[in-house]
Amino acid sequence: MEVIPAVDIRGGRCVRLAQGDYARETVFGEDPIAMARRWVSMGARRVHVVDLDGARDGQQANAAIVRGIAAAVEVPVQTGGGIRSMATIHATLGAGVDRVVIGTAAVKDPELLREAIAFAGDRLIVSVDARDGRVALQGWTEATDLDAVAFIEELRDCGVRRVVYTDIARDGVTDGPNFAMYERVTRAIDIAVIAAGGVGSVQDVHRLGECGVEAAIIGRALYTGDIDLAEALAAVQGAGA
């Protein structure tokens, strides 16, 4: 299993939101590129970058910083936020990013989803962000009645190979992941699952591995020091990841 540090960007700075609330922002650094370098220097083998402005507003706002991160680190970078057209997908993957993440567009634009699957294949991730089991869109600001598990099944049937599942209520608060949901999805659906939201300890990382997820994205707990990245990486490597 992979442990993937998160670098969330808003207004050009490295931040974390609590439960997806843009009014509950904590700034952890003025230089997201330096932050990505820091995690890689500590052993990270992949970095997860989110353009929070883009996720909310519908178009990339921090693309230059994302490109800078991809150029500055020698590990794969995956990124999402405001990626809602094939032109943006082409440009992002062409700029050295390894994987592109779409969320809102996967729900609102089925044709784009089909084109993205055909073009990007394994380099496409669909972000399934849920509150109380229902998918949320537009940087988590728009609620829907779409059942998250049923949606993941639809994605699998369409040819999507990998999803990031985030329980919004747990994100940015380190209260522990929604283990029951991860177990449900990994056992019922043949799709690679990356866990995000609420990872607050190395024990959480261990348990996620037992749930069968491919990777765990860790944000706030790394920035606050609740999780030591080197320790988390050693833990999953020791478990045979």
Please list the active-site residues: 8, 129
What is the DSSP track for 56-122?
HHSS-SSHHHHHHHHHH-SS-EEEESS--SHHHHHHHHHTT-SEEEESHHHHH-HHHHHHHHHHHGG
* Contact of 6 with 218, CB cutoff 8 Å: yes
Other CB atoms within 10 Å distance of the CB of residue 154: 16
Say which residue the tokens 């993937």 belong to: 4
Distance (Å, rounded) from C-alpha 164 to C-alpha 155?
12
Distance (Å, rounded) from C-alpha 131 to C-alpha 209?
23
Other CB atoms within 10 Å distance of the CB of residue 54: 24
**β 77-80/215-218 pair status:** unpaired
What is the DSSP track for 188-233?
HS-SEEEEES---SHHHHHHHHHHT-SEEEE-HHHHHTSS-HHHHH
Distance (Å, rounded) from C-alpha 68 to C-alpha 65?
5
